[in-house]
A and B are shown apart, each in its own frame.
Chain A
């Protein structure tokens, strides 16, 4: 992104120091609110969480001083940690694959603009206007044994949230419903940036539909697909609302995600902020590594 700022241009043509200084002072003046917000509510908290992670720091007693890595050991020794990691990864893979395949299908379906596809686009997009918590509450009622309209089809009651496997899939359905339109839109933007000439050339060369899709659409869609994948993976790894509302981590702690574990450490039962901070630093580190790997993987093949 090239930035041609006016005062800079002005300063080049009239190389006066005073003017340059006034310009950067004004710039800082306008950037000051952003800088203050970022400092107070982002940089300082990062510092606090780092210190918290190596301190004996309970919810009600506050900071009791350095405890030499005990928080990290306690977080790693938790019997719920590895099942939660495994479940979160499983959930992320399932959600990302289903969501992106479906979103790509929907995007291809509605890419030509007409009144009918306009209606389809809006229908697919409406769920993404809802909050994740509202959508989860909606599906909580939809899945309930008392009020569910989905039970009319069978004599035997279906338990949507009763077993670990059904709870996972029921949540995936909710997430796919809520986000399919969102990712469809992201991919649609990518599809529409592919020039029509390319398709025309393919048509002249006698490529069939599948060849066109495989050899032209998919490669040219790579940037949008990469962005969608990274957003979907990151979002799913940090899943919280949907499980907090739908399953509360049950049945039998089978649907506890990592962020839920952080929340529980800090505010439920243990009230141990130090341990929660240690765990969330580990999560942050893992997330950074995963994103770097994704960036490399998704970018690398392109060049």
Chain B
């Protein structure tokens, strides 16, 4: 009796959390005045989205390119960095590690203003590559930390035997150690992807060309379209397109996602 009661209560609580997501998905295809989908159910709002300015295809492409570049840069830099911090002693090692973690202490806004000027000087203004490089930097504290503890968890004998077999330390890394830290790489990759896909303020500051903005910025800009009248249907459709890859990724790789927190919370 008590069990059923608590199930009903907790179930209601779970539904409360799921409700906004379900509502957005349903509302984006349901009829509603003032949107492209006035009569009957259908994909009118998605059509609006597809035809908005450069078209949703372009914005999806921008977002995908930025996210993939950020993932690749983050994985490469943090795998080498984690290996260096975990397996070698070199002068300045602790200082470099601390400065990398210090990135967490500085607000985005404080860094974005000088980065706006710096990217101009580097010829990377308005560039998706420049945006990805900056997003990679923001990922480094978590990524390098995560890879460092992943490499430290490898038993020393494994690497020793690799070196004795005549591999140089680079080949040992490539063939023996990288496969051993794969769970860490997956976690770092997911977090880099989600962060890059969802980031808002970084492209808001760094990208001024409306053709080059990633999807979150495009959907946010779309609201100010026609004489202050907001097309909520198109906004709902935009939210669905934005959220879907994140939710699918989350549900598919939930265990890795949780792992990231475990390591962060326990050792941080």
Contacts and interface: CB of A to CB of B under 8 A. Distances in A.
A137 interface: yes
A126 B18 CA distance: 8
Interface stretch (B54-62, B180-188, B241-249): B241-249
- Majority secondary structure, A binding face: helix
Interface string A260-293: 0011001100000100110011011001100100
B247 A262 contact: no
A119 B109 CA distance: 37
B114 A129 contact: no
A265 B201 CA distance: 15
Nearest to A29: B84
Interface string A16-36: 000000011111111111110
A117 to B, nearest CB: 8
A146 B249 contact: no
A85 interface: no
A291 B109 CA distance: 18
Nearest to A274: B113
Given A46-B106, A123-B18, A147-B232, A6 B87 contact: yes
Contact of A133 (B14, B110, B198): B198
B13 to A, nearest CB: 8
Given A33-B80, A34-B96, A48-B114, A130 B200 contact: no
Contacts of A30: 80-81, 83-84, 88
B2 to A, nearest CB: 14
A37 B137 contact: yes
Interface in B249-268: 249-251, 254, 257-258, 261-262, 265-268
Interface stretch (A158-166, A210-218, A237-245): A237-245
B100 A5 contact: no
A32 B199 CA distance: 27
Interface in A136-169: 137-142, 144, 146-147, 149
Interface size on B, as a range, is 35 or more
A17 to B, nearest CB: 14
Given A46-B106, A189-B266, A141 B18 contact: no
Contacts of B144: 34
B262 A189 contact: yes
A97 B99 CA distance: 31
Contacts of B100: 34, 38
Interface string A188-230: 0110010000000000000000000000000000001001000
B27 A120 contact: no
Contacts of B204: 244, 263
Nearest to B258: A185
Interface in B226-246: 230, 232-233, 235-236, 238-239, 242-243, 246
A42 B99 contact: yes
Interface in B90-124: 90-93, 96, 99-100, 102-103, 105-111, 113-118
B33 interface: yes
A31 B84 contact: yes
A33 B74 CA distance: 10
A101 interface: no
27 contacts: A5-B87, A6-B160, A7-B89, A24-B89, A26-B169, A30-B83, A31-B84, A38-B140, A46-B111, A47-B114, A123-B18, A125-B250, A126-B17, A126-B247, A129-B194, A129-B257, A131-B200, A132-B200, A134-B219, A134-B243, A138-B20, A142-B20, A147-B232, A177-B17, A177-B20, A277-B113, A284-B106
Interface of A: 1, 3-9, 23-35, 37-38, 40-49, 52, 62, 109, 116, 119-120, 122-127, 129-134, 137-142, 144, 146-147, 149, 177, 180-181, 185-186, 189-190, 193, 224, 227, 238, 240-241, 244-245, 259, 262-263, 266-267, 273, 276-277, 280-281, 283-284, 287-288, 291
